[in-house]
Amino acid sequence: MGERRPLIAGNWKMYKTCAEAVGAARRLAELTVGIQGVDVMIAPAFTALYPVAEAVRDTVLIVGAQDVFWEEQGAYTGEVSAAMLVSAGCRMVIIGHSERRQFFGESDDTVNRKTKAALTQGLMAVVCVGETEAQRDKGLTFEVLERQVAKGLADMAPNRADDLVVAYEPVWAIGTGKTATVDQAQEAHAFIRAQLGKCLGEALAKSIRILYGGSVKPDNIGQLMTMADVDGALVGGASLDPETFIRIVRF
């Protein structure tokens, strides 16, 4: 993987109260003492971001958010800006997760606007792309990925893209127990990297980390990480338990 440092990111989704999130974060901080050569991110719900960030201050853990709005401020009830995330202790943010696309109308355009807003505030943006089962069955995987990368990262300033991470999450493998084979994952990741080269230049594309997301577990992470273009994982359910998540971190 060259200079691409592995990243294992835990998306806690709509789980854990503030107290539960702080407890889990503290336990994970204990388990990651001495961890080297890998970045570890956890993304609690908005309500738990600040207390979790305080709880893991001076540890190896990176705190991320699960979404962001593209405007700096304004009459946008229920939304949270990139500057607000930074003030709460965030260093990363997940953008365009398939659940946001499926349930909340996220589009390639809104992904683009959110990504630019996050990068402007110095947040590392984890931009999610991936095809549904129906799209894969119709042979549209590459067409979908090409569109999502091209539109999601359109007009992106290369000097900002240093803080960009892409997560490939085949929608059919999220929470289903299904996992792409290592060959399927590598094929998709290599294609995404080629598309990044078209958008941002080949040199920058080689340095951008591409994570795999889709029913990642302790028993499949090792094999996934042997692939040349798999630089880490975006982990859902298996990240909720620190004892399970640390086994993925220690792939």
Q: What b/e sequence results for 2-31 when a residue is b if at least 16 CB atoms lie within 10 Å of its CB, and e otherwise? A: eebebbbbbbbbebbeeeebbebbbebbeb
Local structure of 49: helix, strand or coil: helix
Specify the pTM. 0.96
212, containing H or E segment: strand 209-212
Q: What angle do CA 20, 25, 31 make, to 5 degrees?
A: 130
Whole-angstrom distance, CA of residue 68 vs CA of residue 65: 7
49-104 residue pLDDT tens: 999 999 999 999 999 999 999 999 999 999 999 999 999 999 999 999 999 999 99
CB atoms within 10 A of CB 242: 21
Asked if residue 85 lies in contact with residue 39, where contact means CB atoms within 8 angstroms, the answer is: no
At residue 47, the pLDDT reads: 98
85-94 residue pLDDT tens: 999 999 999 9
Q: Residue 127 has which token pair?
A: 């931009």
Residue ranges of domains in the chain, CATH in brackets: 7-249 (3.20.20.70)
Which residue numbers in the chain have pLDDT < 50?
1-2
Active site residues: 97, 169
- Which of these, 2, 14, 6, lies nearest to 236 by C-alpha position? 14
- Which of these, 68, 69, 15, 3, lies nearest to 42 by C-alpha position? 15
Whole-angstrom distance, CA of residue 199 vs CA of residue 189: 15
At residue 176, the pLDDT reads: 76
At residue 22, the pLDDT reads: 98
- Which of these, 145, 140, 227, lies nearest to 179 by C-alpha position? 227
Whole-angstrom distance, CA of residue 29 vs CA of residue 40: 10
For 193, residues 6+ apart whose C-beta sits below 8 A from its C-beta are 205, 206, 208, 210, 229
Asked if residue 66 lies in contact with residue 11, where contact means CB atoms within 8 angstroms, the answer is: yes
